Chain A
Amino acid sequence: MADKSSSNAYWAANISMIRISLIIWFIVSFGFGIILRPMLAGIKIGGTDLGFWFAQQGSILVFLVLIFAYAARMNKLDREHGVEE
């Protein structure tokens, strides 16, 4: 097992990545797709508004980017802290 201080720093870094990712996750789906949709109503896209697009397509595309970015960033973090398999 890695030493305690290194694994604490590793965990803190992981938590901060998760926090940033989940804030984006929340904004694109619950935010743009649902709660903030009336505010985006002025931005037209293909016969409807941007909020509708985020609810039906945009959020899914952002989710994909979030997961792969997180996976890549964590692989780097694993190596930096010497906790990779």
Chain B
Amino acid sequence: MDQFTLNLVVVGATFALYFGIAIWARAGSTSEFYAAGRGVHPVLNGMATGADWMSAASFISMAGLIAAVGYDNSAYLMGWTGGYVLLAMLLAPYLRKFGKFTVPEFIGDRFYSNTARLIAVVCLIVASITYVIGQMSGVGVAFSRFLEVKASTGLYIGAAVVFAYAVLGGMKGITYTQVAQYVVLIIAYTIPAIFISITLTGNPIPPLGLFSEHTASGMPLLEKLDQVVTDLGFGKYTGHTDTTLNMFLFTMSLMIGTAGLPHVIVRFFTVPKVSDARSSAGWALVFIALLYLTAPAVGAMARLNLIDNIYPQGAQSDPIDYEARPDWMKNWEVTGLLKFEDKNGDGKIQFYNDKSEAFKATAEGKGWAGSELTVNNDIMVLANPEIANLPGWVIALVAAGGLAAALSTAAGLLMAISSAISHDLIKGTLNPGISEKGELLAARIAMGVSIAVATWLGLNPPGFAAQTVALAFGIAAASLFPAILMGIFSKRINSAGAITGMLAGLGVTLVYIFLHKGWFFIAGTNSFTDADPLFLSIKSTSFGAVGALVNFVVAYVVSNATEEPPLEVQELVESIRIPKGAGAATGH
């Protein structure tokens, strides 16, 4: 069986499984559609949260970004796990006690204002759509490779599958399907990593392999990697080239964004008890950590293997001839995500850092006229098993895993968007008398529109999948997280404070992002780039932490200048702080 057929069989089999579960658990009432009837065990909920959480950004993109940069991109690792500590301690248990369905509902009740609720809906939609754009570019990469088509064609196919998938089932379908997806994606992620770790270091546990000896050279793996990348003019893999301020703010944005993203928070509405909300966050992190501890090993080893493929005699010798390139390069050339351009006409593939001034003389001395290979970072994880010459079924499995990751998150996000529109916007404000059927229909239309917008913007994404997703985290960090946190931990913050705070945080962050990434992410309309950012070398992906600070300060100052919240709201805050009396959720 050739690779193409094998891919189709494995991906097809996993899809049949997800669709089967979705149909079996098809949502009936609105309560089931949003929150799965609350009967989900913490361990299963943690696993589903893991699948929901680990998107194309984590699975397909993150290790590639770590591979490309090294230490500085550890921000992704710390940021996307550290947020769970905040969730478990600062948000999840209290929101579960509050016992409604959506994040805007909490903000509307706590700040006794429909305006606050509407602003929360806007924040949620902006963050979630940005997130879906990132997913779409990841889906596009995965589909383009395994169907052997152009990246844009892959994107259209992916969008159609996401639509069919998300519209079919509600949360309940999604919860159980996501458990299945977690299993598929974690197996797909770890198996190639184990193979590669054994080949390179002899250690079958990738996180340990990363800090072990590189068998071929007898040097520690990371030292070997530092050596080969500096031989080609790149920065040291373990070195720190970003500013410390930017790395700090980036990590902070990702952490508080994690705790502010509605599709993650909403998972904690589905556990039976307040105490389960705390342990669910822990279980979610256990399942997430399995991938996140493997990712840095995947990144480092992929980078080493890639360079080794191009410079089989060592990074100081000649690279391979283009005609003798390995099959995986030919496969990826089809997608347009890997490109070769023979700048000096010698038929060899020179791959090095042509932006390094220090390396210029060395390159010219060798007759090199610029780096000739462009590798899209988002292909690293998917290409990894091919680069390492692993069997065909492993390659097919990774394609299936990447699609599982992208689909599960896209579905969760679309749920959050559609419930914000149908439940908070239409039922909560515009048309309270809407029937259950009408509400479900509105939810489905909202999903369709969101997918269309995200697909269109995904054709020219503002960055690699994980970078686009990082922008979504910045937006959530600056808008929703501070409002929820202050709503629980302060009785003094009133509606005027929360509203101005959210608007200020969202506004300043969006403007900063649009200045760097183009207005409404339309390519070419930006005034600055992340290579040369506007303010204190803070990149647009890191600005969410600054936006959050603005939100806190504005909310505090405005609240203190205006009257205290009414007594019944202060009592509401008292009651969500203790677990006792948490009943089933009521949203109607």
Which residues of A line the B interface, CB within 8 A?
A: 1-2, 7, 10-11, 14, 17-18, 21-22, 25, 29-30, 33-35, 37, 45-49, 52-53, 55-57, 59-61, 63-64, 66-68, 70-71, 74-75, 78, 81-85
Q: Roughly how many angstroms separate A29 CA and B274 CA in the complex, as a whole number?
A: 28
Task: Assess the A63–B278 pair: CB atoms within 8 A.
Answer: no
Of B82, B219, B224, B279, the contact of A25 (CB 8 Å cutoff): B82
Which residues of chain B (199-238) have a CB below 8 Å from chain A?
A: 207, 210-212, 219-224, 226, 238
**A-B pairs with beta carbons under 8 A, tally:** 143
Interface string of B179-212 (1 = CB under 8 A from A): 0000000000000000000000000000100111
Of A7, A29, A45, A46, the contact of B577 (CB 8 Å cutoff): A7
Does any Cβ of A come within 8 Å of B309's Cβ? no
Does any Cβ of A come within 8 Å of B131's Cβ? no
Interface string of B71-106 (1 = CB under 8 A from A): 100100110011011001110010000000000000
How far in angstroms is the closest Cβ of chain A from B254?
A: 11
Q: Roughly how many angstroms separate A40 CA and B227 CA in the complex, as a whole number?
A: 22
Does any Cβ of A come within 8 Å of B43's Cβ? no
Of B71, B88, B275, B293, the contact of A75 (CB 8 Å cutoff): B275
Task: Assess the A35–B248 pair: CB atoms within 8 A.
Answer: yes
Of B74, B221, B222, the contact of A33 (CB 8 Å cutoff): B74
Known: A60-B78, A74-B275. A47 touches B285 (CB 8 A): no
- Which chain A residues border B292 with CB–CB below 8 Å? 60
Q: Roughly how many angstroms separate A61 CA and B259 CA in the complex, as a whole number?
A: 18
- For B489, the closest partner residue in chain A by CB is A15
Task: Assess the B238–A59 pair: CB atoms within 8 A.
Answer: no
Q: Roughly how many angstroms separate A64 CA and B255 CA in the complex, as a whole number?
A: 14
Does any Cβ of A come within 8 Å of B580's Cβ? yes
Q: Roughly how many angstroms separate A81 CA and B293 CA in the complex, as a whole number?
A: 38
Q: Roughly how many angstroms separate A27 CA and B220 CA in the complex, as a whole number?
A: 27
A-B CB contact pairs (8 Å), 28 listed: A1-B578, A2-B578, A2-B580, A7-B577, A18-B89, A30-B251, A33-B78, A34-B244, A34-B251, A37-B240, A46-B212, A46-B220, A47-B221, A48-B211, A48-B223, A52-B71, A55-B78, A59-B78, A59-B81, A60-B81, A63-B285, A67-B285, A68-B279, A71-B278, A71-B281, A78-B580, A83-B579, A85-B582
Does any Cβ of A come within 8 Å of B282's Cβ? yes
Interface SS of B by simple majority:
helix
Does any Cβ of A come within 8 Å of B574's Cβ? yes
Task: Assess the A74–B278 pair: CB atoms within 8 A.
Answer: yes
Does any Cβ of A come within 8 Å of B44's Cβ? no
Q: Roughly how many angstroms separate A78 CA and B286 CA in the complex, as a whole number?
A: 24
- For B282, the closest partner residue in chain A by CB is A67
Of A11, A21, A45, A82, the contact of B85 (CB 8 Å cutoff): A21
Q: Roughly how many angstroms separate A66 CA and B581 CA in the complex, as a whole number?
A: 26
- Which chain B residues border A35 with CB–CB below 8 Å? 244, 248
- For A11, the closest partner residue in chain B by CB is B577
Which residues of chain B (259-286) have a CB below 8 Å from chain A?
A: 273-275, 278-279, 281-282, 285-286
- Which chain A residues border B252 with CB–CB below 8 Å? 30
Known: A34-B251, A63-B81, A85-B582. 9 other contacts (CB 8 A): A14-B577, A35-B248, A37-B240, A46-B212, A48-B220, A56-B77, A56-B210, A71-B88, A85-B581
Task: Assess the B211–A46 pair: CB atoms within 8 A.
Answer: yes
Task: Assess the B278–A67 pair: CB atoms within 8 A.
Answer: yes
- Which chain B residues border A74 with CB–CB below 8 Å? 93, 275, 278
Interface string of B44-83 (1 = CB under 8 A from A): 0000000000000000000000000001001001100110
- Which chain B residues border A82 with CB–CB below 8 Å? 580
Task: Assess the B78–A1 pair: CB atoms within 8 A.
Answer: no
Task: Assess the B251–A29 pair: CB atoms within 8 A.
Answer: yes
> Which of A34, A45, A56 is packed against the most chain B CB atoms within 10 Å?
A56
Q: Roughly how many angstroms separate A64 CA and B50 CA in the complex, as a whole number?
A: 14
Of A21, A25, A48, A55, the contact of B222 (CB 8 Å cutoff): A48
Q: Roughly how many angstroms separate A14 CA and B335 CA in the complex, as a whole number?
A: 53
- Which chain B residues border A22 with CB–CB below 8 Å? 85, 89
Of A47, A52, A53, A85, the contact of B274 (CB 8 Å cutoff): A85
Does any Cβ of A come within 8 Å of B296's Cβ? yes
Q: Roughly how many angstroms separate A34 CA and B78 CA in the complex, as a whole number?
A: 10
- Which chain A residues border B255 with CB–CB below 8 Å? 29
Does any Cβ of A come within 8 Å of B338's Cβ? no
Task: Assess the A85–B579 pair: CB atoms within 8 A.
Answer: yes
